[in-house]
Structure 1
């Protein structure tokens, strides 16, 4: 167990540092890339296998639980309530598009689900929460993370200029970035770029909208757990229907909301969550066949692109319809 954990830790630390230097790319992507390189160098992984499996499964679930401590439900519901129509619309469209296109392109169902939830909810965090529920393997997770990463970078680079062209207000762009950009790091990058151009405080709006989107992890994983239970004909015990780590994620959010945890404590717990995701992605990278990933990557990229465009268009359309932009 220890040998595999230490290998993952040795990858996660530099990946975390690189992610801080290049936030648009993010630590999880660096961890997967480094993990795939290290995995190719280790000829016999048998003595590392137990630790790597533990990190890729259990540490990933711990990351989702710790993520809950960063969600103050009261603040999110107060500030993010007006964004709910846009959030619900974009999530629904992304999931429908990913389902239909996955069937049309004959993309493996689990890859389609991961790309769909990653695009619509909160990138790597949503993938981390969903993967254990649908029992996705390492290559499916790596595929989805790679697709999300690609469009994260593009969004962070072009959305501020696109928002200017469309004449969005500061509030409108905050809502646009918060609903149409996949991962937290890229939402931050896009909103910060807008603030630099306009001298505004759009980052605060975009962050709250993004956190509100994160709550969709709960109903989405609940539905997927029921579907998986029916497929495998398991008895509908609570642990099977609703994964316990998602319950702990919700409990963590409630604790933060009720007890008003100190900002420093919340920051530490959120940082721990971020590092645990990076650690898990290192393990997933080690077990990923990079050659197979490249060969099978075209269709998931097309799926991610269509989901990304659909979300952006729906976000703007709903804002215009409700006069929020």
Structure 2
């Protein structure tokens, strides 16, 4: 009896020890990506993806594989859960009724458009869902969160990685080009904030584009973007319900025991509520937000390690056309909304 009791901690430490090599690999890649991003600019998520793909030869290594799998599938849930500290209900009130409906429409219509375009391009619906959600909500974070609701397969991992690479590239291009659109169309501060916050994919690029113009535009754009981030919660809940049986079928008996609404999503909702009530000190919000970013960067690095350029190349040109179409659609939609509101106000 005593022998069994003593062996349990050893087995636990042994299982944890098997995760160390793969986790350390992904953490070093994430640190390198963050350093390059901090020193030379550019999205650290994209750097983590590309550096991770350079280490694909370790994906089948028996010592690294367990840690890589945990980083790719478990850390993303922690990162998404902690995103809740960045959202408060008061943000929704500050946007106004028109802004709320416009931004909610951007999310729903972009996902619908992406599914339709994927069908036209003869691409899998899962890729259309991932790319539409990532473009419409909050970039790579949304892609990772939506991926967690889908049946886990190698194809879906490839689609997630492809979406992440494309979204990072198009979001960076949007950060550079959309301020020129604001200048060319003569948008006012509130209009520019709504357009940038509603059309650019990732939070960091929204902040960069907004503050390129002015502090007021940067604040307005960030506020609009955070509402789109808040839309992640209902979208993920809906997808969890829709794909529950598919996840059970793909995961076997173990998946059948999982709750319909997972723990990471309940933590996300709880943090939104607590933050809305003002119970979280600014230090806790900052720390949790930073931890969320690190978890997502490490997770995307792991996803990069698991996928090769050769497999991505096999997907062809259609996914690029899909991502470009989504980016143009949401930008055109937000510009149309801005000009319609301007005409309505002038009437």
- For the criterion TM > 0.5, the same-fold answer is yes
Moved more, 249-258 or 81-90: 81-90
Could you tell me which runs of 5 or more consecutive residues in structure 2 were left unpaired when the two chains were aligned: 1-18
- Asked if 1:18 corresponds to 2:33, the answer is no
Moved more, 63-72 or 116-125: 63-72
Alpha-carbon distance between aligned partners in 2 of 1:2 and 1:129, rounded to the nearest angstrom:
24
Alpha-carbon distance between aligned partners in 1 of 2:338 and 2:104, rounded to the nearest angstrom:
12
Contact 1:179 1:210 in 2 (8 A): yes
Higher relative contact order (CA 8 A, sep 6+): 1
Q: CA offsets per residue over residues 43-80 of structure 1, 9 Å max, x none?
A: 85111111110111111100001111111222x12212
Matches within 5 A, 1:6-85: 6-23=24-41, 25-40=42-57, 42=58, 44-74=60-90, 76-82=91-97, 83-85=99-101
Contact 2:59 2:306 in 1 (8 A): no
Q: 2:229 aligns with which of 170, 195, 214?
A: 214
Match of 2:21 in 1: 3
For the aligned residue pairs, the C-alpha RMSD in angstroms reads: 2.2
Contact 2:59 2:305 in 1 (8 A): no
Q: CA offsets per residue over residues 127-175 of structure 1, 9 Å max, x none?
A: 1211110135432211000110121121111111111111101111111
Contact 1:63 1:272 in 2 (8 A): yes
Contact 2:59 2:65 in 1 (8 A): no
TM-score (norm 1): 0.91
- Asked if 1:92 corresponds to 2:108, the answer is yes
Moved more, 158-167 or 234-243: 234-243
Alpha-carbon distance between aligned partners in 1 of 2:174 and 2:289, rounded to the nearest angstrom:
24
**Considering only CA atoms, is the larger Rg found in Structure 1 or Structure 2?**
2
Alpha-carbon distance between aligned partners in 1 of 2:281 and 2:264, rounded to the nearest angstrom:
23
- Asked if 1:126 corresponds to 2:142, the answer is yes
- Asked if 1:321 corresponds to 2:340, the answer is yes
SS state of the match for residue 137, structure 2? helix
Contact 1:188 1:203 in 2 (8 A): yes
Contact 1:225 1:240 in 2 (8 A): no
Alpha-carbon distance between aligned partners in 2 of 1:247 and 1:11, rounded to the nearest angstrom:
30
Q: How many Å apart are 1:233 and its aligned residue?
A: 7.1
SS state of the match for residue 212, structure 2? helix
Q: How many Å apart are 1:187 and its aligned residue?
A: 0.5
With over 3 angstroms needed to count, the CA separation of the structure-2 counterparts of 1:250 and 1:48, relative to structure 1, is: same
Q: How many Å apart are 1:232 and its aligned residue?
A: 5.7
- Asked if 1:229 corresponds to 2:244, the answer is yes
Alpha-carbon distance between aligned partners in 2 of 1:125 and 1:112, rounded to the nearest angstrom:
16
With over 3 angstroms needed to count, the CA separation of the structure-2 counterparts of 1:293 and 1:237, relative to structure 1, is: closer
Show structure 1 runs of 4+ deviating over 4 A: 230-240
With over 3 angstroms needed to count, the CA separation of the structure-2 counterparts of 1:43 and 1:241, relative to structure 1, is: closer
Could you tell me which runs of 5 or more consecutive residues in structure 1 were left unpaired when the two chains were aligned: none
SS state of the match for residue 122, structure 1? coil
With over 3 angstroms needed to count, the CA separation of the structure-2 counterparts of 1:101 and 1:304, relative to structure 1, is: same
Match of 1:310 in 2: 329
